């Protein structure tokens, strides 16, 4: 029986799981398919509901795992095969320098999520106009100080790909309401002259301090919240015309905007079904990894010895991903000792 645990994914959930296992005396192999740790968290500028420095927070956590001798970090590495059962999984890892075989006692899947590319949303002119960007691109613009300057109007569009049976997913991506409020505040802070408009269907602020955070966007930062899903974004003479209904008034409205930010859905990580098939575990109808029981055993996959953590199970905010990382670590420790 092996005492090692394989953690798949070097985002915040995987990093936390690896840390907790190491802190309790276990050995970890942490694999990450990209060339650096940090996952989606590392792509952000600020956290919410408290505007913390995301890059500083994540590098602090990355440093912790990098300086822990019992955690072996393999970047640019993917899992290519997995056999065996709890306590004795034989896995094949493909690294830049070739493949290697390992025997591990438990596996934690923390493969993260993917921001949906809203290419199907042609009504929003995404891909046609450079002034229509996704939230992820907005984060990058903010990090590089490229947010529009001067007297500009910025429109934030909720539920792009979420709550949409026709072109996206039926589920709610949970965090878009909060991060769009964060973006609107970031916009106001970067350019106090700008005007921000957030188009929403329902505001879902399910977390400590979230409601207060979104209210602060409205009350302190004068972000205009308009209830209605944006119908169309048209290009007109270098501007964007955003059409929607103000559904609380029952009236169609048009905003002449300079930048449109699409809060694209959180979708399962690319290749999640292939990974699940390789591991022999179940996914849900969307491709998220399926837990056996969502209330009391949220991190148990359908196969003993393989545990789940973070947003590869469902749309999730950072705090929950960290909590789930810790929980899966304790489950892994329980089967490897």
Partner 1 sequence: MPRLDKVAQIPKPDKIFVFKSCVASNKYPGIEACSSDSLRILGIEPVDSDEQTCCGGFVTFANVAAPTASMPAVARNLSLAEEKGLDTCVVCNGCWTFLNEFGHFMNHNAEVKASVNMMLNMMGKEYKGTGSVYHIAEMYYRLKEELAENVKRPLKGIKVATHYGCHYLGGGKYTAIDDAQMPSYLEEIIEILGGEVVPYTANRECCGTGFTQVINGKDLSLEHTKTKLDSVKEADPDILVVQCPYCHSQLDRIQQQFNYRDEGDFQTPILHIAQLVGMGLGLDVAKLGFAAHVSGRARLENVLDRIGR
Partner 2 sequence: MLEQVKDWDDDFYERWKPIAMGFVNEAERCLQCGKCTGQCPAAAVTPGYNPRKLIRDLVDGNIKRILSSVELWQCFFCSGCYSTCPMDINFPFFIFMLRLGAMNEGYGWEDVKQLEAYAEKDYLKDGITVSIRERNPFVVDTVGDIGKIREAAGLPTKRVVSKRGVAEINMISDLSGMTSFMKKIGGVDLLDCNTCDDAQARRCKTKPLPSKVGKITTKTRFYNYGEPSGGKTNAKT
Task: Please report how close the Cβ of residue 165 comes to partner 2 at its closest, in angstroms.
Answer: 5
DSSP secondary structure letter of residue 297: B
Q: How far is the CB of 126 from partner 2 (least distance, A)?
A: 14
Evaluate whether 105 touches 116 at the Cβ level (below 8 Å).
no
- The listed partner (partner 2, partner 1, none) that binds 11, CB under 5 to 8 Å by sort, is none
Give the ranges where the chain is alpha helix by DSSP (H): 12-23, 54-66, 135-143, 176-190, 210-219, 272-279, 318-336
| Closest among 303, 41, 82, 91 to 331, alpha carbons compared | 303
Q: How far is the CB of 122 from partner 1 (least distance, A)?
A: 4
Least distance to partner 2, CB of residue 267, Å: 16
Interaction site with partner 1 (CB under 8 A) = 122-123, 125, 128, 232, 234-237, 241
Q: 153-160 and 98-104 as β-strands: parallel, antiparallel, unpaired?
A: unpaired
The option from partner 1, partner 2, none interacting with 111 (CB < 5 to 8 A, set by class) reads none
Question: Closer CB to partner 1, residue 139 or residue 258?
Answer: 258
Which among partner 2, partner 1, none contacts residue 244 (Cβ within 5 to 8 A by kind)?
A: partner 2
Residue 208 binds which one of partner 1, partner 2, none, with CB within 5 to 8 A depending on kind?
none
Residue 168, binding choice from partner 2, partner 1, none, Cβ under 5 to 8 Å by partner class = partner 2
Nearer to partner 2, 129 or 247 (CB): 247
In the complex, least distance from residue 248 CB atom to partner 2, rounded to whole angstroms: 9
Taking residue 105's Cβ as centre, other Cβ atoms within 10 Å add up to: 23
Tell me which residues touch partner 2 (CB under 8 A): 123, 159, 163-168, 201, 227-232, 243-247, 249-253
* HEC secondary structure over 115-168: ECCHHHCHHHCECCECCEEEHHHHHHHHHCCCCCCCCCEEEEEEEECCCCCCCC
């Amino acid at each position: 029986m092996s005492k090692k645990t394989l953690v798949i994914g070097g985002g915040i959930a995987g990093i936390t799981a690896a840390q907790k296992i190491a802190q309790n005396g276990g050995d970890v192999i942490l694999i990450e398919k990209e060339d650096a740790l940090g996952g989606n968290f590392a792509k952000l500028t600020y956290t919410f509901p408290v505007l913390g420095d995301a890059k500083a927070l994540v590098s602090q956590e990355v440093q912790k795992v990098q300086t822990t001798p019992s955690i072996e970090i393999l970047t640019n590495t993917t899992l290519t095969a997995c056999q065996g059962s709890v306590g004795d999984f034989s896995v094949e890892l493909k690294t830049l320098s070739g493949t290697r075989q390992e025997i591990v006692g438990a596996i934690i899947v923390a493969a993260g999520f993917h921001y949906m590319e809203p290419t199907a949303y042609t009504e929003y002119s995404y891909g046609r106009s450079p002034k229509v960007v996704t939230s992820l691109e907005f984060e990058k613009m903010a990090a590089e100080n490229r947010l529009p300057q001067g007297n500009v109007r910025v429109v934030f569009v909720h539920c792009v790909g979420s709550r949409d049976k026709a072109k996206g997913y039926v589920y709610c991506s949970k965090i878009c309401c909060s991060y769009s409020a964060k973006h609107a505040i970031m916009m106001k802070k970067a350019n106090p002259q700008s005007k921000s408009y957030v188009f929403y269907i329902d505001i879902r602020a399910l977390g400590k301090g979230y409601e207060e955070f979104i209210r602060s966007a409205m009350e302190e930062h004068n972000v205009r919240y308009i209830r209605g899903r944006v119908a169309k974004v048209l290009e007109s003479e270098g501007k964007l015309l955003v059409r929607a209904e103000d559904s609380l008034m029952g009236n169609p409205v048009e905003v002449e905007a300079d930048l449109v930010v699409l809060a694209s859905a959180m979708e399962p990580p690319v290749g999640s079904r292939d990974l699940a098939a390789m591991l022999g575990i179940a996914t849900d109808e969307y491709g998220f990894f399926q837990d056996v029981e969502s209330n009391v055993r949220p991190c148990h996959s359908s196969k003993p010895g393989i545990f789940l953590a973070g947003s590869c199970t469902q749309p999730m905010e950072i705090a929950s991903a960290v909590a789930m990382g810790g929980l899966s670590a304790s489950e892994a420790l329980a089967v490897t000792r």
